[in-house]
Amino acid sequence: MSIVKSFSVGDGDMFYIDHNTDNFTVIDCYLSSLSEEDKESVISEILGKSKNKGITRFISTHPDEDHIGGLKYFQEKIGIYNFYCVANEATKKDKSEDFDKYCELRDSDKAFYIYQGCSRKWMNRSDEVRGCAGINIQWPITNNEYFKEAIEKAKNGESPNNISPIVTYGIQDGATFMWMGDLETDFMDNVKESLKGLPKADILFAPHHGRDSGKIPLDILNIIDPQIIVIGEAPSKNLNYYSGYNTITQNSAGAITFDCVDSKVHIYVSNENYEVDYLDDEGMSRFEYYIGTLKL
């Protein structure tokens, strides 16, 4: 079994994957909005889950503060030994200590630069030592003209949203999850011909925290064909609720835990009053506030 968790950290993103192999992965970091007690609770949970893992990695989708806030603190408390990001030279006029830490890691020998189809032991290659993590990079295509333009804009201090990769985590005979960072609608529309090979994903984390500005074009959404779309914690007035799709809205649900067992995903949230009507009830109780099971 494996666990995917989406933390409730305010208007930002932070996830971990407790793999069913000797791997542990964190995707993005946003601790800046949390109280000291909540910040320590998140760090303690990650330390507890990762302590017996042979390989830990940190995937950074892009260096906006709502995806790297608290990165320096995270590094001090947990340590980052494998830092995954797209190759970039992003700059900012008003730099934070977390952006400085991002740049330090990005430009260090801890960095592994990701792109569509890249391969790495034990990210998506197994050996006699340990199984792979089941993580694959579906985007970027680094010679795509729109991606190169996004890289140049980030280098010039403009928004780095569109340098975000598309990352999938797939479990053999089980669920597939997809992350898209903060890709924007116009950008996705421009590169949709290059995204025709995207795999289907059972659970999709909506880009740009579920904002209208990151609404996935229908052509791409039809390819991904998600069973559940997780809408992030952007202000409600800015959200797109993906009418016609099953959703979990993190503003209301709180932290979300996906417990993946065989061809099922048992789903828990931190808000005991949150409910959905499209999941099966299997009476699970491994974590608090079970809302139902997705059968694949």
Contact 27, 10 (CB under 8 A): no
How high is the pLDDT of residue 1?
A: 86
For 139-149, how does the pLDDT look when each residue is reduced to its tens digit (9 = 90+)?
999 999 999 99
Q: What is the pTM of this model?
A: 0.98
| pLDDT > 70 fraction of the chain, expressed in percent and rounded | 100
Please count the CA atoms within 13 angstroms of the CA of 289 that sit on its side-chain side. 14
Ramachandran quadrant class, 211 (left: phi over 0; alpha: psi -120 to 50; beta: rest): beta
80 band by pLDDT with thresholds 50, 70 and 90: very high
For 265-295, how does the pLDDT look when each residue is reduced to its tens digit (9 = 90+)?
999 999 999 999 999 999 999 999 999 999 9
Q: Is domain 2-295 classified as CATH 3.60.15.10?
A: yes
For 203-214, how does the pLDDT look when each residue is reduced to its tens digit (9 = 90+)?
999 999 999 999
For 167-198, how does the pLDDT look when each residue is reduced to its tens digit (9 = 90+)?
999 999 999 999 999 999 999 999 999 999 99
Hey, where are the domains in the chain?
2-295
| pLDDT > 90 fraction of the chain, expressed in percent and rounded | 99
For β-strands 55-59 and 176-179, DSSP reports them as unpaired
